[in-house]
Structure formats: structure tokens, C-alpha cells
A = this chain, B = another copy of it.
Amino acid sequence: MATKRPDTRAPVTPGDLDPVIHERVRLSIVSTLAARRQVDYLELRTLLGLTDGNLAGHLRVLERARYVEFEKSFVERKPRTTYRLTAAGRRAFQKHVEALAALLPPRGGR
């Protein structure tokens, strides 16, 4: 590790934060998937309190970045779409979490 250089850099610069993950709805989606491994579409919509259009649009952005993948199946003859993070999505979230952790004030240091 290099020596500490306090006050020569901001705790976090905008470039440290991945815009694909940082957007509020997508950050909520990704953190939910990170905590629960896989979640089906309807459950995700309910958990996050989103409209179909809003959720679908943000999922598409995450799929295009290859952070999220889905699987379609049938459960009792009803179609179900299950989402999960890809390995790349998990790494990107981990990196994002580290950047966010860097901007949190030290615990107990209010």
C-alpha cells in the first residue's frame, strides 16, 4: 500500500461510481439481487414498489451491461422470469460498495 495522503483527494470522486449501478432504482435492484441470489420479476416489482415500465427499463440497462441475467420457466403453467446477478454484476456491485463505503463517515464518529 502507498502511504496515506489525507486531504489530497476527495473521499470519492464521481468517476469511482459506476453510473449503471449507481442510479437509484438499479442500485436497489442490484442490492436486492446481491442479498437474495435470485428473485423473480413479480417479487422484485413488489419489493421495490415499481411500475412494470420502470422495472423493465432498468433491468434492460443491467442486462445490456451484462450485470444481470434472467431465466424463463413455467410454474403451475404460469410463466415466471427469474433474475440474478452475473459474476460481472457481482464484481461491479462489490467495487461499487467499496467506493460507497469510502464515503461513509467512520462508525461512531458522528
Contact = CB atoms under 8 A, between A and B. Distances in A.
Which interface class (under 10, 10 to 19, 20 to 34, 35 or more) fits A?
A: 20 to 34
A36 B105 CA distance: 11
Given A47-B9, A97-B105, A24 B32 contact: no
A24 B14 contact: yes
Contacts of A31: 10-12, 103
Contact of A11 (B17, B25, B35): B35
Nearest to A44: B10
B49 A13 contact: yes
Contacts of A10: 28, 31-32, 47-48
Interface of A: 7, 9-17, 19, 22, 24-25, 27-28, 31-32, 34-36, 47-50, 94, 97, 100-101, 103-105, 110
Given A14-B25, A14-B49, A34-B105, 14 more contacts: A7-B36, A9-B47, A10-B32, A11-B32, A14-B24, A14-B48, A15-B49, A16-B28, A17-B27, A22-B22, A22-B24, A28-B103, A35-B105, A100-B100
